[in-house]
Amino acid sequence: MSAISPQAGDALRLWLEGQQALAGASANTVTAYRGDVAEFLAFMAVHKGAPQGLAALERIGVGDMRAWMAHMRGRGIGARSLARKLSAVKSFYRWLAEREGFEPTAVLSTRAPKFRRKLPRPLAEDAARAVIDRVEVQSATPWVAARDVAVVTLLYGCGLRISEALSLKGADAPLPRVLRITGKGGKERIVPVIDAARDAVADYLRLCPWPCEAQAPLFRGVRGGALSPRAIQKVMAQARMQLGLPASATPHALRHSFATHLLSAGGDLRAIQELLGHASLSTTQAYTAVDSARLMEVYERAHPRA
């Protein structure tokens, strides 16, 4: 941050502290914000010929924003990544403008580049069940096999992220009818736990050689430490190869499958948003595009006039 003025550096530090303490941003999010905004401030220092103090930052204009975006694209930054960087810069500027009392229109009116959102790629219902069955036979060690089944059943049966499933503690066992999950940004949500998931976790705990201690990880690695996400990714990769499924059949695809299958069964979009812990309904609405795409495939294949 040597190209950034001390005043701008202090402002960035204070904003990041607020994001972590007040907005509940995760450590990874704060790190990304720091890099994106520091990169922007460093560019403006070079672009303007000197580190930019707060007064100079207030005078950033439309042309300056265009120059920054052109510079980013010239470095090969994709539209999706640039949109994320611009979002971080805008968030910083909203806070800075309110703190310093200036009008940040030039920055906030900058349009993000358009990009096509990647649609979730869920598994078919029979494929999701086949994955769980196949995971069960990946390990010759019974408790490891039961553990892996318990994790993937939670991902598909409850729509958990893999980090959320692996963050469960011994105190969470036996699993209740509902779990209080802390997701991205420290946001809490209530997730119903289906009987299949509760039974799978109970089977795992019955076989696990490690004691179920309240503050210890619920899911253990073979040496007794916290289970690594990589272990579940590996067992999923083996299962999908054996079943002939595409590379998109990852642990996270089970979460997508949970949402898509609920929607196909008539689930309410708002309810699914709550179950997934999405901050914005627009994120959940991606599943309607998936479901519509599937319906169109059926229509084009089956309609007599298609």
Catalytic residues: 161, 184, 252, 255, 278, 287
Residues 6+ apart with CB under 8 A from 253: 120, 121, 122, 123
Distance of alpha carbon 76 from alpha carbon 71, whole angstroms: 9
Strand-strand pairing, 178-182 and 188-192:
antiparallel
**Helices (runs of H) and strands (runs of E) counted in the chain:** 15, 2
Cα angle vertex 299, ends 295, 305, to 5°? 165
Burial of 272 (0-12, 13-18, 19+ CB in 10 A): buried
Residues 6+ apart with CB under 8 A from 239: 131, 134, 135, 138, 245, 249
